[in-house]
Structure 1
Amino acid sequence: MARLTRVQQQARTRAAVLAAARTEFVEYGYALAKVDRIAERAELTRGAVYSNFPGKRALYLAVLVEMVESAGGDAQPDAPDGLGDALGRFARAWLERLPLSEETAAGGRLQLRSLAGVVDDDHGRAVLAQTARIEALLLAIALEGCPPQGSAQRRVRLGELVLTLLGGSGALAETAPGFGDPFDLARACAHLADLDLADTWAPPHLRHIRPAEPCGEPWTPPDRAVDLITGAPVGLDGDGVVAVLGARRLGAAEEAVRAARPGEPVTVVAATGDPAETGRLVRLRISDLATCLRRVFQASTWRNLRLVLDDTGAVASAAGLPGADDDTEAAVRIADGAIAARATGRGAAHAAAAFTPEPAAPPRKDTP
């Protein structure tokens, strides 16, 4: 038999560790799981586990990411029949994660993608707060395309309300499995379509942000990236707005979305210097939501928005931001294959999206 290449051996080792870790977490839960037992299950050394994952939390997040990304959700569904239908169908897709009453506590938490006791530090909580905001934005964009559409009505608050209701049902399922009827929850979400939340978009700080600075630098992004919304590879070399947002600033994505010109592509780049934990946490939350969204809404729903994870710094560096980290907030406007403008600091995504180059001065006429 031909010898395995180093890359093949690495992939095999990683797969064995993930399979063993999933069994360990189902049996013992996150708190009581042991890396030594995971190594034994995988028939590997403890060092082999740590050479692939820096710690138990990174390993737990990797198991959840693999679960979510193998769940599918890529079929092209029929378009929802109105806002209420969309909310009900989304809720049913989300609620399929609820464990049955006979499920073990540890297995049920894994099925729920529970992060209780896993992400309990201030940094992790800040990242979760920001991912929740961008989750609400992604759901809102889909809902804003449902009839009755009105006059560009914002539905972010509705998205937040739905995710709050569903998230609460998940938290309750951890402590009281089997309580609450998922069909009732889905119907309740559908009825939220009748609420008038008077949702508007008018952040007061945007009036005071510094305009984007014109520039004419080359734009040479990586050849390919994966869009976490669709799960498909995308090119980043086209014109549009690219917002590079640290994991603790992801909520600023809406500033680019609302300021962009109609039909203009917006790429949100989630930047982090910690791919093993912070990067996986962002990827988990966005991929998990997107899997549910793709079961209800057609891929064209987000044709003007892409969300990619930049945990190597390649996209940030191409945008002239080699030191991007979890607190970065910057954006560039791409035109004709070059960086036409750049903005940094609070409101940068809005500034780059709203940038309009000054018209060229008319040629001077020679006076007789």
Structure 2
Amino acid sequence: MVRLTRVQQQERTRRFVLTAAREEFTEHGYAAAKVDRIADRADLTRGAVYSNFPSKRALYLAVLIDMVENPTADEPPTPPPPPTTADALGAFARTWLERLPLVGDTASGGRLHLRSLGGVLDDERGRTVLAQVVRVEALLLALALESCEPARATPVRRVRLAELALTLLDGSGHLAESAPGFGDPFDLARACEHLAGIELTDTWEPPYLPYVTPARPCEDAWDPPTELTDRISGGRVDLGADGLITVLGAGRLAAVEEAVRSARPGEQVTVIVVTDDAAETGRLVRLRITDLVGCLRRVFAPDAWRRVRLVLDDDALVASAIGLTDLDDETESAVRVRNGAIVARAHGRGAAYAASTSDVSTSGASNAGTSNDTRPKGPTS
């Protein structure tokens, strides 16, 4: 008889719970699902379920993450990069629309396949975090679309176009949730292609940048944690390399664009997401980013996001290494790493901009923070 280790037993129990929960949510939907029935399906106690997932919402989000990260069908190989922005939007839309419920699906099963959050985020914090995550989604899609643009002296910003496309697609998902089969996916994909032809005035010049507090120069030892995963590429993250590291609470995720746009040419940008609620808020961020990136990877070449990495720091390992405490949803802090040391620190609104634009000499931090040039920089994607 093979004895399972404690970790193996925990993973086995977790898998039983996820399987049972998926069956329960498929049959009854989120609102009518019962944790007691999930425990019965898994042949476990109610306490065993809650020891792995502290709430029904956390369990539902875990089921969706499991569906996204472990698809039942093999993903097709990534095609060549789309030649134009319009082609890219159409290809992305067709990939995203595969989640729409079919006419023969049950209502609850269709919602699960759609990754619906209807009725799940019924509190102000959940809605606030989702609004911030959607801004990150728009930025990631925009960076991919910008990679399709021809080289120009002033790079094109495509965030407004990405927001428009995601609004159309998400709206079609909400309608399909209530009226399965309504709306032709091919028409929706063609509509997204045509969005690329709309003239949008799209610039990045936040009015607060001239008033951002300059970064503090320093020469601090930097011993970053290892074995971190980039949620965009799926690869390992080396935080010891030169670059900008921005730590953001779940309520400040929109500042990701500030980090990307402020970074100097060729500089690596790493965004660290922290939360005091990994079971729900952390899973919500993980679900949405993983789901979107799964679609993007099937359309765009990996180097579309080569300069930006995103790490979910549920255990605050990176934040602690930087020296941050009292983390919450409004956390916004940044450091700049040079030659294995932290050479600039900034906190509060505009932290990424302050740390990135600090005047750091190649030999260290002797000139950090001495520059008075706080003029907004153009997109550097």
| Normalised TM-score (structure 2) | 0.92
Q: 1:221 aligns with which of 221, 224, 230?
A: 224
What is the match of residue 316 of structure 1? 319
Letter in 1 for 2:138: A
The structural deviation recorded for 1:354 is: 1.3
- Aligned equivalents of 2:346 and 2:237: distance in 1? 24
Letter in 1 for 2:273: A
Letter in 2 for 1:62: A
Letter in 1 for 2:308: L
The structural deviation recorded for 1:149 is: 4.8
SS at match of 1:174: helix
Contact 1:221 1:315 in 2 (8 A): yes
What is the match of residue 63 of structure 1? 63
- Aligned equivalents of 1:83 and 1:76: distance in 2? 17
User: Aligned pair count?
Assistant: 361
Q: Which runs of 5+ in 1 are unaligned?
A: 362-368
What is the match of residue 123 of structure 2? 121
The structural deviation recorded for 1:76 is: 3.8
Q: 1:196 aligns with which of 199, 204, 210?
A: 199
SS at match of 2:233: coil
Deviations 1:70-118 (A, max 9, x none): 1375844311111111000000010000010111110011011111100
Q: 1:160 aligns with which of 149, 153, 163?
A: 163
SS at match of 1:248: helix
Letter in 1 for 2:179: A
The structural deviation recorded for 1:189 is: 0.3
Deviations 1:232-272 (A, max 9, x none): 22222211000000000000011111110111100011110
Letter in 2 for 1:82: T
Give yes or no for the alignment of 1:268 onto 2:271: yes
What is the match of residue 105 of structure 1? 107
What is the match of residue 278 of structure 1? 281
SS at match of 2:345: strand
Letter in 2 for 1:200: T
The structural deviation recorded for 1:358 is: 5.9
Give yes or no for the alignment of 1:175 onto 2:192: no
Letter in 2 for 1:237: G
- Aligned equivalents of 1:145 and 1:218: distance in 2? 36
What is the match of residue 366 of structure 1? none
- Aligned equivalents of 1:322 and 1:309: distance in 2? 17
Contact 1:224 1:236 in 2 (8 A): no
Give yes or no for the alignment of 1:345 onto 2:348: yes
Contact 1:90 1:293 in 2 (8 A): yes
Contact 1:243 1:332 in 2 (8 A): yes
Structural mapping, 1:86-101, within 5 Å: 86-101=88-103
What is the match of residue 34 of structure 1? 34
Quote the sequence identity (%). 65
Letter in 2 for 1:120: D
- Aligned equivalents of 2:76 and 2:324: distance in 1? 33
- Aligned equivalents of 2:75 and 2:208: distance in 1? 38
Contact 2:149 2:156 in 1 (8 A): no
- Aligned equivalents of 2:239 and 2:34: distance in 1? 41
What is the match of residue 208 of structure 1? 211
RMSD: 1.4
Relative distance call for 1:339 and 1:55 in structure 2 (3 A) is same
The structural deviation recorded for 1:147 is: 2.9
SS at match of 2:326: coil
SS at match of 2:173: helix
Deviations 1:252-309 (A, max 9, x none): 0111111101111000111101100000000001001000000001111111100110
Contact 1:83 1:148 in 2 (8 A): no
What is the match of residue 374 of structure 2? none
Letter in 2 for 1:217: D
Which one is further off, 351-360 or 97-106?
351-360
SS at match of 2:259: helix
Give yes or no for the alignment of 1:301 onto 2:304: yes
Contact 1:313 1:322 in 2 (8 A): no
SS at match of 2:208: helix
- Aligned equivalents of 2:224 and 2:328: distance in 1? 18
- Aligned equivalents of 1:74 and 1:36: distance in 2? 38
Deviations 1:195-240 (A, max 9, x none): 1101011110111110110111111221121111122222222110
- Aligned equivalents of 2:229 and 2:325: distance in 1? 20
What is the match of residue 4 of structure 1? 4
Deviations 1:13-68 (A, max 9, x none): 00000000000000000000000000000011111101100010000000001111
The structural deviation recorded for 1:320 is: 1.4
The structural deviation recorded for 1:357 is: 2.1
What is the match of residue 245 of structure 2? 242
Letter in 2 for 1:93: T
The structural deviation recorded for 1:322 is: 2.7
Contact 1:75 1:294 in 2 (8 A): no
Relative distance call for 1:310 and 1:74 in structure 2 (3 A) is farther
| Normalised TM-score (structure 1) | 0.95
- Aligned equivalents of 2:102 and 2:306: distance in 1? 37
What is the match of residue 365 of structure 1? none
- Aligned equivalents of 1:300 and 1:241: distance in 2? 18
What is the match of residue 261 of structure 2? 258
- Aligned equivalents of 1:322 and 1:223: distance in 2? 20
- Aligned equivalents of 1:77 and 1:236: distance in 2? 31
What is the match of residue 19 of structure 2? 19
